[in-house]
Structure 1
Amino acid sequence: MIKDLTQGSIRRHLITMSIPIGIGMFVQTLYFMVDLYFVGRLGDAALAGVSAAGTIMYIVMALTQMLGVGTVALMARAIGAHDKVDSNLIFNQSLLMSGLCAVVILFTGLALTPYYFHALGADPQTTEMGVNYLRWYAPGLALQFILNALGSALRAGGIVKPVMLVQIISVLINIVLAPILIAGWGTGYPLGVLGAGLASSIAIAVGVIMGAVYFAKQEHFVRFQRNQMHPQWGVWRRILNIGFPAGAEFACFFVFMAVIYSIISHFGPAAMAGFGVGSRLMQAIFLPGMAIAFAVPAIAGQNMGAKAMDRVRETMRQAMYLEVGVMVLLTLVCKFQPSWLVGTFARDPQSALVAAEFLHIISWNFVATGLIFVCSGFFQALGNTWPSLLSTGTRLFLFAIPAYWLSQQPDFTLHQLWYLSVATVACQAMMNLGMLRWQWKKSVAGMASGSATGVAENRNAGELNLSTE
Structure 2
Amino acid sequence: MKQKMQSERLGTEPIPKLLKNLSIPAMIGMFVMALYNVVDTIFISYGVGIDAVAGVTIAFPLMMIMMAVSAAMGIGGASVISRRLGERREEEANLVFGNIISVILIISLLGMIGAFTILEPILRLFGATPDILGYSIDYMFPILLGTFFFSFAFATNNIVRSEGNARFAMMTMIIPAVVNIILDPIFIFGFNMGVQGAAVATVISQASVTIVILRYFLTGKSSLQLRMVDLKIKYSIVKEVVAVGLPAFAQTAAGSVMMIAINTMLIRFGGDLYVGIFGIIQRIIMFTVMPMLGVMQGMQPIVGYNYGAKNFDRLRETVILSLKVTFIISLFIFILIMAVPNWLMMIFTSDPVVIDAGSEYLRIMFAAFFLITIQVISSGLYQALGKPKQALILSLSRQLIFLIPLVLILPHFIGVYGVFLAFPISDFFACLLGAFLMYRDRNIFFGKGKGKEKETAEKEPVPVSSGT
TM-score (norm 1): 0.90
User: Which position in structure 2 is the counterpart of 1:211?
Assistant: 213
Q: Return 349-358 or 302-311, whichever deviates more.
A: 349-358
State the distance in 2 between where 1:450 and 1:322 align.
27
Aligned residue pairs: how many?
Answer: 448
Larger radius of gyration: 1
* Runs of 4+ residues over 4 Å off in structure 1: 442-446, 449-454
TM-fit CA distance, 1:134: 0.7
Q: Could you report, residue by residue, the CA deviation over 1:219-254 in whole angstroms, capped at 9, with x for unpaired residues?
A: 242111111111100111111111112211211111
What's the Cα RMSD here?
Answer: 2.2
Q: Aligned pair 1:323/2:323, yes or no?
A: no
User: Which position in structure 2 is the counterpart of 1:337?
Assistant: 340
Instruction: Report if the CA contact (8 A) 2:102-2:231 is conserved.
Output: yes
Q: Aligned pair 1:408/2:412, yes or no?
A: yes
Q: Could you report, residue by residue, the CA deviation over 1:381-413 in whole angstroms, capped at 9, with x for unpaired residues?
A: 22113223324434423333343233334xx33
Instruction: Report if the CA contact (8 A) 1:174-1:203 is conserved.
Output: yes
Q: Aligned pair 1:11/2:23, yes or no?
A: no
Q: Aligned pair 1:430/2:432, yes or no?
A: yes
AA matched with 2:150: Q
State the distance in 2 between where 1:104 and 1:453 align.
37
State the distance in 2 between where 1:56 and 1:268 align.
21
User: Which position in structure 2 is the counterpart of 1:390?
Assistant: 393
User: Which position in structure 2 is the counterpart of 1:300?
Assistant: 303
State the distance in 2 between where 1:389 and 1:350 align.
40
User: Which position in structure 1 is the counterpart of 2:454?
Assistant: 447
Of 356, 360, 365, the match for 2:359: 356
Q: Return 439-448 or 140-149, whichever deviates more.
A: 439-448
User: Which position in structure 1 is the counterpart of 2:229?
Assistant: 227
Instruction: Report if the CA contact (8 A) 1:290-1:370 is conserved.
Output: no
Unaligned runs of 5+ in 2: 462-468
Q: Could you report, residue by residue, the CA deviation over 1:362-397 in whole angstroms, capped at 9, with x for unpaired residues?
A: 222222222211111110122113223324434423
Change (3 A) 1:397 1:340: same
Change (3 A) 1:352 1:283: same
Change (3 A) 1:337 1:216: same
User: Which position in structure 2 is the counterpart of 1:461?
Assistant: none
Instruction: Report if the CA contact (8 A) 1:282-1:359 is conserved.
Output: no
Instruction: Report if the CA contact (8 A) 1:274-1:355 is conserved.
Output: yes
Q: Aligned pair 1:271/2:271, yes or no?
A: no
Q: What's the % identity of the aligned pairs?
A: 23
Instruction: Report if the CA contact (8 A) 1:369-1:425 is conserved.
Output: yes
User: Which position in structure 1 is the counterpart of 2:196?
Assistant: 194
Q: Aligned pair 1:39/2:44, yes or no?
A: yes
Instruction: Report if the CA contact (8 A) 1:275-1:354 is conserved.
Output: no
SS at match of 1:408: helix
Instruction: Report if the CA contact (8 A) 1:150-1:212 is conserved.
Output: no
State the distance in 2 between where 1:102 and 1:429 align.
35
Of 88, 112, 136, the match for 2:142: 136
Of 277, 289, 292, the match for 2:292: 289
TM-score (norm 2): 0.90
Q: Aligned pair 1:311/2:317, yes or no?
A: no
Q: Return 109-118 or 242-251, whichever deviates more.
A: 109-118
Q: Could you report, residue by residue, the CA deviation over 1:238-290 in whole angstroms, capped at 9, with x for unpaired residues?
A: 11111112211211111111111100013122211110100111111111111
State the distance in 2 between where 1:413 and 1:116 align.
26
Q: Aligned pair 1:251/2:257, yes or no?
A: no
Q: Could you report, residue by residue, the CA deviation over 1:17-71 in whole angstroms, capped at 9, with x for unpaired residues?
A: 1111111112222332222111112122211101222232321221122111211
Instruction: Report if the CA contact (8 A) 2:383-2:391 is conserved.
Output: no
Change (3 A) 1:121 1:220: closer
Instruction: Report if the CA contact (8 A) 1:91-1:149 is conserved.
Output: no
User: Which position in structure 1 is the counterpart of 2:120?
Assistant: 114
TM-fit CA distance, 1:141: 4.0
Of 87, 97, 100, the match for 2:93: 87
TM-fit CA distance, 1:150: 2.7
Q: Aligned pair 1:280/2:283, yes or no?
A: yes
Instruction: Report if the CA contact (8 A) 1:379-1:436 is conserved.
Output: no
AA matched with 1:284: F
AA matched with 1:341: L
User: Which position in structure 1 is the counterpart of 2:69?
Assistant: 63
SS at match of 1:122: coil
AA matched with 1:307: K
Instruction: Report if the CA contact (8 A) 1:71-1:94 is conserved.
Output: yes
